[in-house]
Structure 1
């Protein structure tokens, strides 16, 4: 092998999250550090390590400072309660930038939460000495004005940040294709622009990011292939029972088992693609209030790279899986669907929230890159400025007596409305 061959290890972390992991800055740092601690035994001592984390691992930071609200049980109720308690911060954003209440709530907290997220990931990349795909998080777009990052009004995209072992920024990618839960009826994110997707040459591959649904879409994979992507990163948060059926745009009537559908993302990209040789697809699991997330993380390659036949549950074995997390159990389709329902939030079953966590790794090789690094965007220059700042700002706290009063009032209002609805 020539000395210019890139040899590296890819590591995918499948963590279990809960709302309690996001109620304070310390809790979030501990949760993120726990994932790197899980990964550490799998690091290579003699080659660079690429660690890939999961989609939307910064979304629940909207709960930061609001542990009191978790008793409201559902994400929708908690979001409404937070909007009411943070009205002085959120209302001006809503009115000035003409956005929805849920987007205004996220944008109003972004100054603190973006820095918490980026600084936490920066510190972990440095401490563990790894190339880090931070996962993804809802984040505004920024640009520098007089040397300071300034937020673009109204915009909130699902973004993946890539960091080098020194904590420096490699690049940023926005999610282009949003699921219904990410659109106006859900957390209300802004879709990214396909024309802005780029490939980042590094010692751990020519990295292209396709966040979750993007990895299923030919326009995204085609653009990354055209850019020379050799390692596809697919951070994922599948908000459904893994053994249930799904139907997503562009054809929501095309109902298939979730694992069958997932074969059309990373596995297809690596087994049938041109430049894409490997893909890393970590999936978060766990119940977040009333929301349930599940899946099987995987690292895939060409059929000749992984001739052993295996696959997701509910699918036939096949080559192409370099590493794959087993699901929580085996059984018939009916048995697997029943277990998926038992794991889900508020099932009251002994299996509730007993998802499988895991860490996968694979040693990968690629020839030396011939790609030039893409020029930084204004947004990336601004994020690097944020990364260069030394400390995370403290979280503004509302007095506990006010939070309690508002929470009691909200719960009482919800009970009153529910009672009226029952009477109709």
Structure 2
């Protein structure tokens, strides 16, 4: 946009886009088209062989999606990004882009249920093994690394344990072993946490959550930090000729691309896994995510403030066994949250209600403002029972490993008036009392 470095609130409105050159439209146009006309044979050849960037088919790239990609890359400080059909697609294709059968991933055990299932049950069918570790001690990651390890995977704020790891310590371990650190920054968002500032190499998002912010669209994003050496000997797909694209070498072509820097990871992800698996984001959903991004910081300021007050209110209640929120001084993650999440510890919390599963059921069914559903990150406040919904497909042992307990209730706090939210919870506790 200019030589000036703009602030976050300005970038969330403007980064990656200028007024439409044809019509002058200020809003990002929705290019709802499958394909793009080539002006001649030379252009068709250049675009389809990636001799130059351009558009040919919306499964691989679309101008509306590109603005979303450029904006999220700018907000997180990455060199490039890729929009996909869901957060799960973002995580799965990221891992596939780095691994072959026989390779391993080391991941925090406190993961969203869908990611847990991907690592524990799905990827092993394709020969990729995951070692789950307790992220409370960074050395657990180091102890789990073998010669077959190809990545470390963590979440900014664990779901539903609401834990925070020592990112810089884990990043040092990853760097010492020549491995990329992948951070699922869905709960952190670019506003609360910028992974690359703390040593991460790849960021993934479920844009469905806070980025969209209104529960209307499903989508995912992958951001390339541009700060990893893919020619370190562990990733031959980046350093040997690619038979799918006339034998060019990804690292040679994209490792220091003029005007962009190191975009090797994100380009390979687009050319292989977006093209071949087809988990493309619709331009209309990209447009809706751009609308959400425009107010991300404003919503999160209110949501974080509401969450802090609810956490303190819950902690003082005699009918609550425990509260998991890193913004509480009683939290074991309070110091880490103060370091890594200075703008606030997020808008998600969990708590254990006295009375166990039966009381948790009655409480959830008694709320009037909080909606009982599986999503998080909406402007509307949401409530769910993780053991039944988000982690319901896991065995009891797997739930315990992931930090899921029968009495656990998860809140995703929205932007409503805080007095109304506290009233709703208070009446739900009263209605569910034995």
Asked if TM exceeds 0.5, the reply is: no
- TM-score, reference length from structure 2: 0.30
Greater RCO structure (CA 8 Å; 6+ sep): 1
- TM-score, reference length from structure 1: 0.31
